[in-house]
Structure 1
Amino acid sequence: MAVPKRKTSKARRDKRRSPNMKMAAPGLSVCPKCHEPKLPHRVCPNCNYYDGKEVIAAEA
């Protein structure tokens, strides 16, 4: 069985791991009512509309 002769340094180990640790930006869509960016398939936090209907009643 193959055994490493020397300890792998942190720099060498992290250099190998770094390409896989990048975070991806969330995909944003535009609200058709207020034209603000929002997450897809979710209620718009700005105007409280989803699929052309008001889902959350606006505070008076």
Structure 2
Amino acid sequence: MAAPKRKKSKAKTAMRKAQWMRKLTVPGLSLCPECGQPKTPHRVCPHCGYYKDKEVVEVV
């Protein structure tokens, strides 16, 4: 079985253990240019159904 050649520093160990914290962050929100409601970037707006100035989904 492979063994590490050098000891991992405390900083590297802490950085590895803190990875779960980075995954918990909320993705940034942008405003829809059509309706002005907040939406996730690169997604269809759930309020008006527009994406890149085109109506993609008809919202009831």
Post-superposition, which runs of at least 4 consecutive aligned residues in structure 1 deviate over 2 A? none
Displacement after TM superposition at 1:52 (Å): 0.7
Q: Which runs of 5+ in 2 are unaligned?
A: 1-13
For 1:46, what is the secondary structure of its paired residue?
Answer: coil
| Alignment RMSD (CA, Å) | 1.9
Identity of aligned residues (%): 49
Displacement after TM superposition at 1:43 (Å): 0.3
How do residues 17-56 of structure 1 correspond to structure 2 at under 5 angstroms?
Answer: 20=18, 21-22=20-21, 23-56=24-57
For 1:34, what is the secondary structure of its paired residue?
Answer: coil
Displacement after TM superposition at 1:57 (Å): 2.2
Query: 2:47 touches 2:59 (CA, 8 Å); kept in 1?
Result: no
Q: Which runs of 5+ in 1 are unaligned?
A: 1-15
Specify the structure having the higher radius of gyration (Cα).
1
TM-score (norm 2): 0.59
- In the alignment, which residue of structure 1 is the partner of 2:10? none
Displacement after TM superposition at 1:25 (Å): 1.5
**Whole-angstrom CA distance in 2 between matches of 1:35 and 1:56:** 17
Which deviates more, 19-28 or 33-42?
Answer: 19-28
